[in-house]
Structure 1
Amino acid sequence: MPKITYITFDGNEHVIEAPVGTTVMENAIKHSVPGIEAECGGACACATCHVYVDDAFKEITGEPEPMEEDMLDFAFEVRPNSRLSCQIKVTPEMDGLIVRIPERQA
């Protein structure tokens, strides 16, 4: 099972084994990772699961689809590596994925 490391703004790390086919957001919620609220339940309608994808994994996680890009307009402190974690499906290639949670979601 791929491991994902969630790093909160204060530097705390949460390493989680994530089943393939689930989303980065689902695993954060299941394991109570602070800063991932997912108020819309993963429907790409709120931007409360915003994360920064580590540069080493940007290509593997892919680019945001148009709907996700639109929703990122509502996120705080958007960067080129910003994604909504509800839109990142876990694949075997994502083993070791690192995502950082923005300060405003702390």
Structure 2
Amino acid sequence: MPKVIYVTPSGDRREIDAKAGTTVMENAVRNDVPGIEAECGGACACATCHVYVDEAWTAKLPEPEAMEEDMLDFAFAPQDNSRLSCQIIVNDDIDGITVTIPEEQA
């Protein structure tokens, strides 16, 4: 089972077993990871699941689609490695992916 590692702004790490085919956001919500609110339920209609993807993983993800890029304009402090966790599908290729929750969301 692939793992997703969530890092809080204070540096705390939570490693979660995630079922392939689910999203990074769904796993955060199911496991009460603080800072991932997901107000729209994963419809890519808000930016409350914004995360920073560790640089080691950004190339392994597909490029964000236009809708996600538009929503990232509403995220707190977006960076080049910003993604909406509702748009990151868990699979074996990203086993161990590490995402950091922005300080403003914590």
Output the CA distance in 2 between the equivalents of 1:68 and 1:43.
10
Aligned to 1:51: 51
Instruction: Tell me which residue corresponds to 1:31.
Output: 31
Structure 1 unmatched ranges of 5 or more? none
Aligned match of 2:21:
21
Structure 1 counterpart of 2:42, one-letter code = G
Task: Number of aligned residue pairs: give it.
Answer: 106
CA RMSD of aligned residues (A): 0.6
Give secondary structure in 2 for the equivalent of 1:83.
Answer: strand
**Matches of 1:85 and 1:38, distance apart in 2:** 9
5 Å-filtered alignment, 1:1-106, equals: 1-106=1-106
2-side partners of 1:61 and 1:101: how far apart? 18
TM-score (norm 1): 0.98
Structure 1 consecutive aligned stretches of length 4 or more whose deviation exceeds 2 Å: none
Task: Give the whole-Å Cα distance in 2 for the aligned partners of 1:102 and 1:61.
Answer: 19
Q: CA deviation at 1:76?
A: 0.9
In 2, distance between residues paired with 1:67 and 1:79?
Answer: 17
**Residue 62 of structure 1: CA displacement?**
2.1
Query: Where does the alignment leave 5 or more consecutive residues of structure 2 unmatched?
Result: none
Give the residue type in structure 2 aligned to 1:30.
R
